[in-house]
Amino acid sequence: MKLYFSPGACSLSPHISLREAGVPFELAQVDLRSKEIKTGGNFRDVNAKGMVPVLELDNGDRLTEGPAIVQYVADRNPAAGLAPAAGTIERYHLMEWLNFTTSELHKNFTPLFKPNTPEDYKKIARDTLAERYQFLDGKLAGKQYIMGDHFTVADAYLFTITNWTRIQKIELTPWPNVQGYMERVRARPKVQEAMKAEGLIR
């Protein structure tokens, strides 16, 4: 398998998931501005949307969209315990958290990274994120991870997106449960491996 990624982008989520699953894979770095693959080639030939992540399977098929990719990784490697079994209520709660992260966090961070976003709209996005993290702080009370005491692919995604608070200088101190959660996930050996491989930490 090959994962197309950009350092620190949302592709970090499947990158972490692949390492947590313990499966072999290659990395292909993408410049999201030029849409060029570091080793050569136009990334739009891989994904017409021009966005990471893309997981290229051994049979040549390609999966896009992070929440779909991480569930594929979890389902193909059930021994890693990265997702509850399909059809269980716990699995639907996992999908609930993946969707929350996509729609309520990821999409509210996006305008903050765009230089042409009006400042008034950036303030709205930041205020919305603060509301969402207040909600999340309550949900993390008394838990090690978002689904309880066991790390899942939902944590890989939530950690990846919340890590953008550092870039956007959003302090997590108002939400101590979120802050503690980020420290726990960041300390995981496979998370450290992924971040080092992307040049995010030494």
pLDDT in tens, 31-46: 999 999 999 999 999 9
In this structure, the answer to whether residues 116 and 178 fall within a common structural domain is yes
Helix (H) or strand (E) holding 63: strand 62-64
pLDDT value at residue 23: 95
| pLDDT class of 48 with cuts at 50, 70, 90 | very high
Whole-angstrom Cα distance, residue 140 to residue 130?
A: 15
- 67 and 99 fall within a common domain: no
Same domain, 62 and 131: no
Rounded to whole angstroms, the Cα distance separating 13 from 159 reads: 8
Residue 163's pLDDT band (cuts 50, 70, 90): very high
Give the pair of three-digit tokens for residue 202: 């030494």
pLDDT of residue 74: 98
CATH number at residue 145: 1.20.1050.10
Evaluate whether residue 196 is within a structural domain.
no
For residues 19 and 71, membership in a common domain is answered with yes
Q: Has residue 200 been placed in a domain? A: no
Percent of the chain, pLDDT > 70?
Answer: 100
Give the pLDDT confidence score for residue 53 in this predicted structure. Answer: 98
Average pLDDT, stretch 175-183? 98
- Count structural domains, the chain: 2
Q: What is the pLDDT of residues 4-20, one digit of tens each?
A: 999 999 999 999 999 99
Within a domain: residue 164?
A: yes
How large a percentage of the chain has pLDDT more than 90? Answer: 100
Alpha-carbon span 143 to 156, nearest angstrom: 16
Which of the four pLDDT bands, split at 50, 70 and 90, describes residue 172? Answer: very high
Q: Which of 80, 101, 124 is a domain's end point?
A: 80
For the entire predicted model, the pTM comes to 0.97
* Residue 16 domain flag: yes
Domain membership of residue 165 as a residue range: 89-189
Which CATH number do you get for residue 9?
3.40.30.10
Q: 153-162 vs 176-186: helix axis angle to the nearest 10?
A: 110
Residue 42 lies in a domain: yes
Residue 12 lies in a domain: yes
Of 56, 80, 104, the residue at which a domain comes to its end is: 80
**95 with 8, same domain?**
no
Of the three residues 33, 63, 80, the one that is the final residue of a domain is 80
Q: Are 48 and 102 in the same domain?
A: no
What is the average per-residue pLDDT within 132-161? 98
Q: Is 129 strand, coil or helix?
A: helix
Examine residue 38 and state whether it is found in any structural domain, yes or no: yes
